[in-house]
Amino acid sequence: MRKETIQIYKFEELSKEAQEKAINDRQTINTDFDWWEFMYDDFADRLGKVGIECKNFFFDIYDRTITMDEPSVEDSEKILKSFLTSKEQILFGIENEKIKDEVELKIYEEDGSIYFYYSNDEGEAEEELNNSKYRETINNKLKEKLQTFLKELGKQHDFLMSDEAIKETIIANEYEFLKGGEMF
């Protein structure tokens, strides 16, 4: 029978070189699972709050590209309020806090066209929103949101792949090592 004694080290007890080896050997420790899921769900919730529902996003974190399935408009009034400037909202007759009590507003879609109806003390009007401008504005704002989301994903991915984050994971999980930085 043969007995061997092995010394086991915590990460902090390793030499600088062994720590570097331990980190380098675990470069994907924070990204070898669906690390983006909570961000994905949060982004879908943020879109929902502005009246857009989208079930699937597709992104390539390495190429830094993102696409989404055809979004469906759940609430056109919410979208307009969320994506248009205050000036555009007034131009389109969207109520804001200052004119909330003074304006009656309805937005509706009929035969593929978006209409708004508004009335106040000065009269009433019904107009068709310029569908191409509406769609262009929404598409541009949606692209901005997708690009922002992609940047957030990129930052998170870069952090998770950083030596600092890998070290935090190793320490938090109390991994143990041999003298040279190999996992025990």
The arithmetic mean of pLDDT across residues 19-40, rounded, is 92
Write the CA distances from 163 to 23, 80, 156, 182, integer angstroms.
6, 43, 13, 16
- HSE-CB for 141 with a 13 A CA cutoff: 18
Range with the poorest average pLDDT among 36-50, 75-89, 166-180: 75-89
Give the single-character DSSP code of 96.
-
Does the structure show a pLDDT above 50 at 153?
yes
pLDDT at residue 162, rounded to an integer: 97
CA-CA distances (angstroms) from residue 66 to 44, 63, 69, 143, 157?
14, 9, 11, 9, 14
Which residue shows structure tokens 């709050």? 49
pTM, 2 dp: 0.65
The amino acid at 87: K
Task: Give pLDDT, residue 143.
Answer: 77
Q: 2-16 b/e with 16+ CB inside 10 Å = b?
A: eeeeeeebebeebee
In the chain, where are the structural domains located?
1-30+167-184, 31-160
d(CA 45, CA 84): 19
Q: What is the mean pLDDT of residues 98-110?
A: 51
Tell me: pLDDT of 155 over 60. Answer: yes
For the ranges 69-78, 108-117, 138-147, which has the lowest average pLDDT?
108-117
Is 97 a residue whose pLDDT tops 70?
no
Q: What does the alpha-carbon distance between residue 143 and residue 99 come to, in Å, rounded to a whole number? A: 30
Length of the chain: 184
Q: Is the pLDDT of residue 168 over 60?
A: yes
Predicted local confidence at residue 128, as pLDDT:
52
pLDDT for position 87: 63
> Pairing relation of β-strands 123-128 and 176-177?
unpaired
